[in-house]
Amino acid sequence: MNMDIDSILRKWKARMPDDGKVALLDLIKGRGAIAALSPAEPDDVVDTVIRQEDEDSAIVRSLDKGCASLVNDHMPTLFSRRGVDYEIGLYELTALITIIRRVLPERTVVDFHGRYSEWNDFFGNIGADEYFDLRREYFHILAASQESAAKHGALDADQEERWMSVCAESGDSGIYNVNYLRAALLGICRLPREYRSGEVEDLALRGLVIWAVRQFPNMEEFEQQWISLKFILRRDGDFWAERVNKITKSADALPNLSQREGEYWQRISKWWRNDVGIRETA
């Protein structure tokens, strides 16, 4: 079957200003004019359409309104659904969150920040495992959308410490699995200047250290997260040596360590300093 993809997208996009909510549901459910593109990922379709639009276009505003309306519809109804009906609702919500993470519609993400306690509880009550976790996706959305939240006055004053707390709790001994650490570090790296107590790089290192001394990863695990952080920030050359030297030498960076944490930190520090090229002198 030959498909004119551009024609399908034009027809779907034309419906968006009239009712973004219904247009999104058609996309997620694979029905109506958009059904022929059902093998495509919904977030890919939305991203393709949005990239052709100005930020304040009627299409973008309607998409944002539709996302906000749909995700709010799920909060009071999802847990009352049973069996197949629940699975359908969960699928729709998962597809919707994937779209929101991809395009970060402003009205929707500002609501996610402004009602953090409600949304965190909602997503935290949905069953999750290492590979499927809507609360983790929610945290990624929060991390990536902090500028929008700040612009609308919806970013909490204690946002920095919230991310540090997620760092500390991401692992077998915490309330989150270790995959939350990347969301927390991204959140630290994307904090607007007025909401952070220092340079992004130093705060990100502090988050990595807090995670390490609370969760006791092995050296390979620590190295993986260190590489991930460097990938997020992408600094060149010898940039990290001075900062790693500072945080591994500063007693203030890690107050109130237990004996076990202190001994572990000494081992990590030695490896880390060597990794960034700091040679110890006798």
Q: Is the pLDDT of residue 185 over 60?
A: yes
Can you state the angle between helices 58-77 and 20-29, rounded to 10 degrees? 70
* CA dihedral over 201, 202, 206, 212, signed as positive or negative: positive
pLDDT of residue 218: 93
Q: For 142-174, how does the pLDDT look when each residue is reduced to its tens digit (9 = 90+)?
A: 999 999 999 999 999 999 999 999 999 999 999
**Which residues, in sequence order, are bridge partners of residue 161?**
none
Q: For 129-138, how does the pLDDT look when each residue is reduced to its tens digit (9 = 90+)?
A: 656 799 999 9
Looking at every residue in the chain, the average pLDDT score rounds to 91
Residue 204 tokens read as 């990100």
Give a three-class secondary structure readout of 159-204. HHHHHHHHHHCECCCCCECCCHHHHHHHHHHCCCHHHCCCCHHHHH
* Residue 128: band (very low, low, confident or very high) from pLDDT cuts 50, 70, 90: low
Give the separation between CA 191 and CA 151, rounded to whole angstroms: 12
Q: For 48-87, how does the pLDDT look when each residue is reduced to its tens digit (9 = 90+)?
A: 999 888 988 999 999 999 999 999 999 999 999 999 999 9
Give the residue among 48, 46, 47 at the shortest CA–CA distance from 23: 46
Give the separation between CA 64 and CA 34, rounded to whole angstroms: 19
Residue 193 tokens read as 């200047």
Please report, rounded to a whole number, the percentage of residues in the chain having pLDDT higher than 70.
95
Q: What is the pTM of this model?
A: 0.92
Report CA 260 to chain centroid distance, whole Å: 31
For 47-51, the CB contacts below 8 A with 24+ separation are 47/102, 47/103, 48/9, 49/9, 49/12, 49/13, 49/16, 50/103
* Residue 2: band (very low, low, confident or very high) from pLDDT cuts 50, 70, 90: very low
Q: For 3-59, how does the pLDDT look when each residue is reduced to its tens digit (9 = 90+)?
A: 688 888 888 888 888 899 999 999 999 988 788 888 889 999 999 999 888 988 999
Give the residue among 214, 228, 223 at the shortest CA–CA distance from 265: 214
Q: Average pLDDT of 124-131? A: 76
Give the separation between CA 162 and CA 170, rounded to whole angstroms: 12
Q: Average pLDDT of 93-119? A: 97
Give the separation between CA 205 and CA 187, rounded to whole angstroms: 13
